[in-house]
Structure 1
Amino acid sequence: MAEQARLLSENERQRELIRGLSMPVLPVSSETLVMPLVGELDESRIALAQATALQAIDQMHARHLVLDITGMPFVDTTVAGGLIRLVQAANLLGARVTLVGVRPEVAQTMVALGIDLASVATAADLASALHREPITK
């Protein structure tokens, strides 16, 4: 029984590690972070993305976060709402957020759902978003 409990604990620790690695926040300068979001997001992954991004912004004193959604197959109202909450919370920490990688079908879905992203900066791709921001070393 003790061995089984140890294995279950180890399994859960590994799951947490994998969850953390699935949402990396990559520093590209002293003030700019990039967070690629890959795969489908449900409420728990959205919450993890929010917590991970906000913790990185706080720890690294970042002023800009680029959210790259190129690897997301779709965006629904739950995902869009989570992204907006992340943008608002990042703004409260003093960081601007730029959304990149919005594919045409995702853009059409967001418009059809009536999702208002007027307060969110966008860029066509990662290079464009990074070019806009001054890179501080």
Structure 2
Amino acid sequence: MELRVGRSIALVVVIVALAMLTLRHRSEQLHQRLPRSAAVGESSPTPSSPPLPSSTPADPDSAATVAAAVQALQADDSVHGWGSIPVQVLKFERDGAGVLVTLLPQDPTVPGGGALVRISRRGTARLIERYR
């Protein structure tokens, strides 16, 4: 009986220790993402610009995929008689069927212009959804 209680207590101690390490690691991750003023605890956080993305070499396949997505969006714009607007890539997600690219207008005040585009593995682009 005492052996079972001892093992149970040891198991609980190990589980609690692992949970504490995991929580500490997660809190450090979240603390790094907070703006400096919120991390210090000031009452009125000042708006700050988002950190610049690190410079990484462009993957030629990714650049070609995004170009195909933008071309599909512009083709749809011309079918409807709309002028094309500059867009930016919000999301680039590879999956088993190809790539999903989410495009949004560079100017957030422009209504519409965003789209979800599927690029197949063969390179064909298909507009899945328009964002208005």
> TM-score, normalised to structure 2's length?
0.31
Flag the structure with more relative contact order, 1 or 2, with Cα contacts below 8 A and sequence separation at least 6: 1
Q: Which has the higher helix share?
A: 1
Bigger-Rg structure (1/2) = 2
Q: Which has the higher strand share?
A: 2
> TM-score, normalised to structure 1's length?
0.30
